């Protein structure tokens, strides 16, 4: 119904009075931080210029045209028509894909416009090709000189064991002769102050200063979440030039190093692929970030804080800002700096081939240089990556390109990502690594001319992996890769989230609404198929109950699937099996949602945690025992991100499904869990286990286990199913109840059950907040769960809104 908006052309205009005496200033600029996307800009009926790139900053000199009262206009052209026109003009050869698959209900030729690629639709999002002014607009007036960009990056000089800072300032000098002056950099906490004399040439130019940190000051480094503090130091940089104003720039200085290590591994062909932060190898735990809204101006600081804090609360230390969205706003990276959330930053190219004509490349060069200058001071950004899946698209021939034409597209690929993007990144920022694509084979891809034969090779680089037809509880289907940067499963968001955008006739799994919001081919059927491996499908004759039951089961399925896969990646970090392993990263697809729809996300639109996000809090815990079965033997590994070894006790408890009393318990003392590694700590054949725990069969029993140490150190409780819950014998419907009480700003839910209850879900509808735990296996009569509200509420309101569900409530 709203499609016509994006097919129309729109003009934004207004009248404004000059806020200052225009005669007093040598130069006046009209600056647009972000224009989305194709526009002609006029002031007082004089054309200043045109824009064609949403990711660029545009500055227009209006010194000679500004008056006391002004009329400014921005004439937009439909992005959809513009993209189609650009594609038509590219006559030499086609640049696929032309259109998204029909299930996405999207627009065509998005690769011909430098705009948020998913705004023309994606497999998790709608087609809302916006038009407008999406970032700030301002007027700048100055004499003599003006600071345009300012950045600070740290480096550690090993030979002298000293930190230094590289400070880059980019100026516009109006004067016709060079300007001389002094720059003073002061970091009081580090007893560091240095003054430099500088000479600024007329026009635009940069000044780079190297500040050595006082060696007698103890520098605290910036560490990722879970590995230390996120210390930053206040720093003042003062520019006093012979003419013009003094400029004082307040900023933060952070100290951290990052290396992407790709070197041979004993007993394994290929190369490693892992990150070393401040000299320490770090296992990367996290997810992939997509735009938080189709309409970027709705994305406030609070929106970002809620989503990013939820990632940190789930023990994540990294997010990949995916290449089909936007370079995020400054606040996004500020919050990541504060939370210790490492960022893998893609450039905005995804799942497509792209043109490389001169105009296009010029626009991209400006975009890349602007974004790197804007963002490179953030310690949270640990990697630049050229694109999403475009190496794979050529290598696996997604677009059925005839072999004879392949060279043309490879040449374009190298031209765009290597000769332009990489060249600019390396010139602008030497402080962090760059890779050309994801997935990639890293150094091996470079050796093969940037397009490797198989970018999904587990022996090199990173992999993306999706499989919706196998049984996701079977760990052997997953690649024992060096780094898993995308993997995942879909689920439906909570009923309370869907309810806001639907009506009664939509509340069924096969409604027009349910199909309309599903943008992934066969997605709804795939979910049911995955659910069906281990759970009985809902049979209720009440259509709304059946819909709610189905939503619940898709969330349980998604949580269990991603748990199994992530635990596999975590326990593979210290071993090589048949030449594969040393997995050092797990970023599941995806963290957040752009609208209310079925997707791979663990956080719903609006921030509500799905069961997957609660599971993530456990499967990403700093200390975790992980179980898997191989040829009839149960193995438990101790996985740790802690920097020191720990002597712990492993508790293994077996229950029959029919009783809250354990049938047997085992405590193994003096288990050494090694620092930052995954080691086997327990093995027992399933037959021995069933023998040991008398009345047990695979179908009648379930195993729970956890690690306990000195001074309150404890892992989450983990579980291992010996058979599918749908085949469980002795499992009976539990009567669950909860009483809610308030303690300061939080609420406690005292839960009781009459029987073992798998996948206990607490849902308080649309009351904003999160629980301390959810979706758990309840094997004890009582459990206390805490609710952290994000807005004022009351115990009464929570009790009234609460729905308790466990597996046997699904009928």
User: What pLDDT is stored for residue 453 in this prediction?
Assistant: 97
DSSP state of 773: S
- For residues 809 and 760, what is the distance between their CA atoms, to the nearest angstrom? 10
End-to-end Cα separation, the chain, in angstroms: 37
Name the E strands within 158-273. 162-173, 179-187, 192-200, 203-212, 233-241, 247-253, 258-261
Taking only the tens place, the pLDDT of each residue in 622-670 is 999 999 999 999 999 999 999 999 999 999 999 999 999 999 999 999 9
Residue 417 and residue 437 in contact, taking contact as beta carbons nearer than 8 Å: yes
Q: How many residues does the chain have?
A: 811
Tokens 């006559």 locate to: 91
Retrieve residue 521's tokens: 């081919």
User: What pLDDT is stored for residue 711 in this prediction?
Assistant: 84
- For residues 450 and 418, what is the distance between their CA atoms, to the nearest angstrom? 8
Q: Is the peptide bond before 590 cis (omega within 30 degrees of 0)?
A: yes
User: What pLDDT is stored for residue 657 in this prediction?
Assistant: 97
**646-649-652-653 Cα dihedral, nearest 10 degrees:** -130
Nearest alpha carbon to residue 701 among 655, 636, 759: 655
How far apart, in Å, are the Cα atoms of 513 and each of 368, 491, 551, 596, 636? 40, 16, 14, 11, 44
Residue 469 and residue 420 in contact, taking contact as beta carbons nearer than 8 Å: no
**With helix as H, strand as E and coil as C, how does 243-295 read?**
CCCCEEEEEEECCCCEEEECCCECCECCCCCEEEECCEEECEEEEEECCCCCC
For residue 695, pLDDT over 90 is answered with no
Q: Active site residue: 389, 391, 444, 580, which one? A: 389
- For residues 276 and 282, what is the distance between their CA atoms, to the nearest angstrom? 6
What's the mean pLDDT in 780-797?
A: 97
Helix (H, G, I), strand (E, B) or coil at 668: strand
Taking only the tens place, the pLDDT of each residue in 126-153 is 999 999 999 999 999 999 999 999 999 9
Q: How many CB atoms lie within 10 A of CB 377?
A: 23
Over its C-alpha atoms, the chain yields an Rg (Å, rounded) of: 28
Residue 415 and residue 407 in contact, taking contact as beta carbons nearer than 8 Å: no
Helix (H, G, I), strand (E, B) or coil at 630: strand
- For residues 720 and 683, what is the distance between their CA atoms, to the nearest angstrom? 13
- For residues 515 and 512, what is the distance between their CA atoms, to the nearest angstrom? 5
User: What pLDDT is stored for residue 694 in this prediction?
Assistant: 87
Nearest alpha carbon to residue 206 among 167, 246, 176: 167
Output phi, psi for 71, to 5 deg: -120, 115
Nearest alpha carbon to residue 80 among 103, 39, 108: 108
Tokens 């029987």 locate to: 755
DSSP state of 729: S
Taking only the tens place, the pLDDT of each residue in 63-120 is 999 999 999 999 999 999 999 999 999 999 999 999 999 999 999 999 999 999 999 9
The structural domains of the chain, with segments of one domain joined by +, span: 3-138, 144-254, 279-290+326-610, 624-727, 736-805
CATH topology of domain 624-727: Immunoglobulin-like (2.60.40)
- For residues 285 and 584, what is the distance between their CA atoms, to the nearest angstrom? 9
Retrieve residue 366's tokens: 């400006």
Residue 144 and residue 180 in contact, taking contact as beta carbons nearer than 8 Å: no
Does 580 participate in catalysis according to the annotation?
no
User: Which residues make Cβ contacts (< 8 Å) with residue 579, sequence separation at least 6?
Assistant: 267, 268, 269, 459
DSSP letters spanning 463-475: EEE--SSS-TT-G
- For residues 69 and 16, what is the distance between their CA atoms, to the nearest angstrom? 6
Tokens 């606040």 locate to: 331
How do strand 120-122 and strand 757-763 relate by DSSP bridges?
Answer: unpaired
- Band of pLDDT at residue 361, cut at 50, 70 and 90: very high
Give me the half-sphere count of Cα atoms (radius 13 Å) on the Cβ side of residue 771.
28
Nearest alpha carbon to residue 496 among 598, 604, 590: 604
Output phi, psi for 778, to 5 deg: -95, 110
Nearest alpha carbon to residue 605 among 590, 592, 588: 592
- For residues 310 and 604, what is the distance between their CA atoms, to the nearest angstrom? 11
Q: Active site residue: 116, 168, 486, 565, which one? A: 486
What's the mean pLDDT in 37-52?
A: 98
Retrieve residue 660's tokens: 């809250």
Which CATH entry fits the domain spanning 279-290+326-610: 3.30.470.20, 3.30.70.20, 3.40.140.10, 3.20.20.80?
A: 3.20.20.80
How far apart, in Å, are the Cα atoms of 349 and each of 110, 136, 277, 353, 568? 10, 24, 27, 9, 30
CATH topology of domain 3-138: Jelly Rolls (2.60.120)
What's the mean pLDDT in 781-803?
A: 97
Nearest alpha carbon to residue 325 among 302, 306, 299, 301: 299
Q: How far is CA 204 from the centre of its chain?
A: 35
Nearest alpha carbon to residue 308 among 283, 338, 284: 338
**Class of domain 144-254 as given by CATH:** mainly beta
User: What pLDDT is stored for residue 38 in this prediction?
Assistant: 98
Does 423 participate in catalysis according to the annotation?
no
User: What pLDDT is stored for residue 520 in this prediction?
Assistant: 98
User: Could you give the percent of the chain with pLDDT greater than 70?
Assistant: 100
User: Could you give the percent of the chain with pLDDT greater than 90?
Assistant: 99
User: What pLDDT is stored for residue 710 in this prediction?
Assistant: 87
Mean pLDDT of the chain, nearest integer:
97
Nearest alpha carbon to residue 389 among 447, 320, 335, 479: 320
- Band of pLDDT at residue 53, cut at 50, 70 and 90: very high
How far apart, in Å, are the Cα atoms of 21 and each of 24, 142, 147, 583? 6, 12, 21, 62
Residue 441 and residue 457 in contact, taking contact as beta carbons nearer than 8 Å: yes
How big is the CA angle at 691 (ends 689 and 693), to the nearest 5 degrees?
70
Taking only the tens place, the pLDDT of each residue in 478-528 is 999 999 999 999 999 999 999 999 999 999 999 999 999 999 999 999 999
**Class of domain 736-805 as given by CATH:** mainly beta
For residue 244, pLDDT over 90 is answered with no
How big is the CA angle at 477 (ends 476 and 483), to the nearest 5 degrees?
95
Output phi, psi for 280, to 5 deg: -110, 130
Residue 736 and residue 753 in contact, taking contact as beta carbons nearer than 8 Å: yes
- Band of pLDDT at residue 261, cut at 50, 70 and 90: very high
Helix (H, G, I), strand (E, B) or coil at 121: strand
- For residues 549 and 553, what is the distance between their CA atoms, to the nearest angstrom? 6
Tokens 């539990």 locate to: 734
Retrieve residue 413's tokens: 């690929």
Domains 144-254 and 736-805 share a fold: yes
Residue 46 and residue 65 in contact, taking contact as beta carbons nearer than 8 Å: yes
Residue 608 and residue 615 in contact, taking contact as beta carbons nearer than 8 Å: no
- 151-163: string of b/e by CB count within 10 Å (b at 16+)? bbbbebeeeeeeb
């Amino acid at each position: 119904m709203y499609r016509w908006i994006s097919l129309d052309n729109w003009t934004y205009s207004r009248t404004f009075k000059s806020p200052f005496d225009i005669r007093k200033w040598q130069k006046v600029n009209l600056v647009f931080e972000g224009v989305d996307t194709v526009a002609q800009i006029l002031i007082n009926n004089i054309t200043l210029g045109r824009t064609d790139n949403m990711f660029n900053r545009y500055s227009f000199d209006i010194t000679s045209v500004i008056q006391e009262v002004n009329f400014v206009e921005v004439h937009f052209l439909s992005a959809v028509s513009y993209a189609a026109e650009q594609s038509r003009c590219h006559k030499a050869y086609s640049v696929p894909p032309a259109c998204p698959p029909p299930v996405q209900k999207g627009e065509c030729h998005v690769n011909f416009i430098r705009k948020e690629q998913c705004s023309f639709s994606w497999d998790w999002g709608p087609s809302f090709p916006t038009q407008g002014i999406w970032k700030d607009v301002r007027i700048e007036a100055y004499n003599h000189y003006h600071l345009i960009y300012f950045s600070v990056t740290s480096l550690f000089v090993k030979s002298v064991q000293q930190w230094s800072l590289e400070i880059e300032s980019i100026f516009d000098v109006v004067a016709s002769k060079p300007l001389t002056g002094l720059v003073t950099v002061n970091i009081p906490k580090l007893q560091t102050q240095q003054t430099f004399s500088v000479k600024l040439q007329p026009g635009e130019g940069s000044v780079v200063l190297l500040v050595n940190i006082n060696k007698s000051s103890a520098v605290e480094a910036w560490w990722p979440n879970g590995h230390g503090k996120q210390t930053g130091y206040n720093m003042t940089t003062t520019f006093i030039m012979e003419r013009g104003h003094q400029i004082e720039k307040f900023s933060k200085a952070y100290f951290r190093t990052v290396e992407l290590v790709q070197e041979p591994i004993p007993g394994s062909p290929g190369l490693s692929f892992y990150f070393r932060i401040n000299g320490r190898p770090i296992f990367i735990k996290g997810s992939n970030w997509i735009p938080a809204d189709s309409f970027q101006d709705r994305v406030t600081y609070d929106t970002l804080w809620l989503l990013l804090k939820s990632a940190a609360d789930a023990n994540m230390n990294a997010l990949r800002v995916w290449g089909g969205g936007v370079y995020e706003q400054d606040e996004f990276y500020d919050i990541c700096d504060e939370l210790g959330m490492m960022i893998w930053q893609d450039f905005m190219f995804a799942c497509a081939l792209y043109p490389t004509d001169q105009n296009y490349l010029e626009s991209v060069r400006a975009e890349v240089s602007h974004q790197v200058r804007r963002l490179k001071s953030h310690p949270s950004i640990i990697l630049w990556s050229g694109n999403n899946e475009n190496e794979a698209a050529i290598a696996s021939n997604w677009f059925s390109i005839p072999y004879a034409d392949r060279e043309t597209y490879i040449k374009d690929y190298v031209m765009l990502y290597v000769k332009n993007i990489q060249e600019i990144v390396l010139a602008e920022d030497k402080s962090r690594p760059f890779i050309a694509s994801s997935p990639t084979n890293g150094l091996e891809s470079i050796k093969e001319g940037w397009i490797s034969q198989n970018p999904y090779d587990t022996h090199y680089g990173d992999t993306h992996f999706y499989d919706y037809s196998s049984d996701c509880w079977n760990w052997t289907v997953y690649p024992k890769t060096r780094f898993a940067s995308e993997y995942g499963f879909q689920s439906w968001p909570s009923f309370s989230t869907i309810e806001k955008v639907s009506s009664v006739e939509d509340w069924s799994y096969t409604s027009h609404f349910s199909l309309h919001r599903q943008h992934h081919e066969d997605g709804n059927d795939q979910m049911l198929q995955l659910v069906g491996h281990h759970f009985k499908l809902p049979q209720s004759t009440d259509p709304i109950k059946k819909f709610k039951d189905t939503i619940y089961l898709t969330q349980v399925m998604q949580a269990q699937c991603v748990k199994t896969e992530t635990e596999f990646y975590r326990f593979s970090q210290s071993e090589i099996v048949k030449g594969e392993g040393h997995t050092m990263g797990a970023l599941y697809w995806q963290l957040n949602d752009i609208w209310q729809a079925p997707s791979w996300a663990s956080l719903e639109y609006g921030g509500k945690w799905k069961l997957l996000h609660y599971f993530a809090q456990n499967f990403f815990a700093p200390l975790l025992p992980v179980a898997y079965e191989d040829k009839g033997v149960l193995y438990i590994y101790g996985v740790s991100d802690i920097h020191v070894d720990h002597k712990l006790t492993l508790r293994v408890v077996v229950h029959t499904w029919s009783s809250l009393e354990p049938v047997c318990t085992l405590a193994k003392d003096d288990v050494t869990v090694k620092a930052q590694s995954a080691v086997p700590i327990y093995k027992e054949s399933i037959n021995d286990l069933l023998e040991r725990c008398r009345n047990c069969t695979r179908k009648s029993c379930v195993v729970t286990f956890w690690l306990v140490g000195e001074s309150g150190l404890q892992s989450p409780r983990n579980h291992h199913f010996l058979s599918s819950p749908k085949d469980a014998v002795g499992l009976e419907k539990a009567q669950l109840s909860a009483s809610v009480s308030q303690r300061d700003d939080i609420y406690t839910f005292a839960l009781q059950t009459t029987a073992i209850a798998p996948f206990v879900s607490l849902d308080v509808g649309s009351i904003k907040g999160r629980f301390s735990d959810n979706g758990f296996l309840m094997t004890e009569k009582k459990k206390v769960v805490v609710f952290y509200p994000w807005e004022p509420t009351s115990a009464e309101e929570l009790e009234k809104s609460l729905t308790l569900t466990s597996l046997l409530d699904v009928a």
